[in-house]
Amino acid sequence: MSDVSPSRKDLVLLWSGGKDATLALDVLHSQSPRRVGALLTTVVEDTGRVTAHDTPLQFVERQANALDLPLHVMRVPSSMPPNDVYEARLASALTPLLEEGFSTVVTGDLFLEDVRDYRQRVLESLGATVLVPLWQRDTAWLARRFLERGYRAVVTAVDPTQLDGSFVGRDYDQSFLDDLPEEVDPCGEHGAFHTFVTDGPAFRTPIPVAVQDVAQEGRMRTVQLVPAENSFSTDQDSAG
């Protein structure tokens, strides 16, 4: 990377709005001269919500504004589209960025090799280089780093087959980590839970949210996020 200028923003970060994507940004910017110049998020076209995380696009747009980064949106017809549909939509969204000069796509993958290998194969077929700054890092260390760096997040979705549904809507904080069953990864790998990041050192301003209705969306138990302009805390402070 010696030929890369510290001011060059040639990286596109696959952005879910959650803690892993935020950690990828944080770790990369603290340990590398390269910089993210654009975010690419995937939303379900008929709901306008981020796949898996169930976060409304408007909140991700506020994150991008707080990060001072342009947000590009890839829309898919369902939360689990067939591979050929996903790949076609990704090509349509990413190719213009590659043509602009973005050369590398950053992902927040942790240790699921099949997910990383599939993503890498697809991205490289489009002409992109893939960078995975969190790959095989200790997830307990990553969770501690997230909190010690001052990031804040709320748990937006939980898979009740892996984690009790009462964890949804809680703040992702030390209390949450302390209460996690031993068999559940502290970063929620294997899809046990997903998060939305509301504040931290990379953000110019926080994105205050409140938690409302809890719902069952397929296999996932989810919450509805609404703006809470005067408070960060969720409606379930006593739980988290």
Count of domains forming the chain: 2
The answer to whether residue 196 sits within a structural domain is yes
**DSSP assignment of 8-28:** ---EEEE--SSHHHHHHHHHH
| Structure tokens that stand for 161 in this block | 């087959």
Cα–Cα distance measured from residue 202 to residue 67, given in angstroms and rounded to the nearest whole number: 6
Residues contacting 141, CB < 8 A, separation 6+ = none
> For residue 220, what are the β-bridge partners?
217
Does pLDDT of 8 surpass 80?
no
172 is in which domain, residue-wise? Answer: 140-239
Q: Are residues 170 and 233 in the same domain?
A: yes
Q: Are residues 35 and 67 in the same domain?
A: yes
What pLDDT is recorded for position 233?
39
What pLDDT is recorded for position 3?
40
* pTM greater than 0.75: yes
The answer to whether residue 118 sits within a structural domain is yes
The answer to whether residue 6 sits within a structural domain is no
Please compute the mean of the pLDDT values over residues 5-24 and round it to a whole number: 87
Cα–Cα distance measured from residue 180 to residue 41, given in angstroms and rounded to the nearest whole number: 28
Q: Are residues 48 and 119 in the same domain?
A: yes
**Do β-strands 129-131 and 104-106 pair in parallel, antiparallel, or remain unpaired?**
parallel
Q: Are residues 102 and 22 in the same domain?
A: yes
Q: What is the pLDDT of residues 144-193, one digit of tens each?
A: 999 999 999 999 999 999 999 999 999 999 999 999 999 999 999 889 99
The answer to whether residue 4 sits within a structural domain is no
Q: Are residues 15 and 87 in the same domain?
A: yes
Q: Within its chain, how far is the Cα of 171 from the centroid?
A: 16
Instruction: Give the pLDDT band (50/70/90) at residue 234.
Output: very low
Residues contacting 120, CB < 8 A, separation 6+ = 130, 132
Please compute the mean of the pLDDT values over residues 79-102 and round it to a whole number: 95
Does pLDDT of 56 surpass 70?
yes
- The answer to whether 109 and 135 have CB atoms below 8 angstroms apart is yes
What pLDDT is recorded for position 229?
66
Q: In degrees to the nearest 10, what's the CA dihedral of 112, 132, 44, 216?
A: 40
* DSSP annotation of 211: E
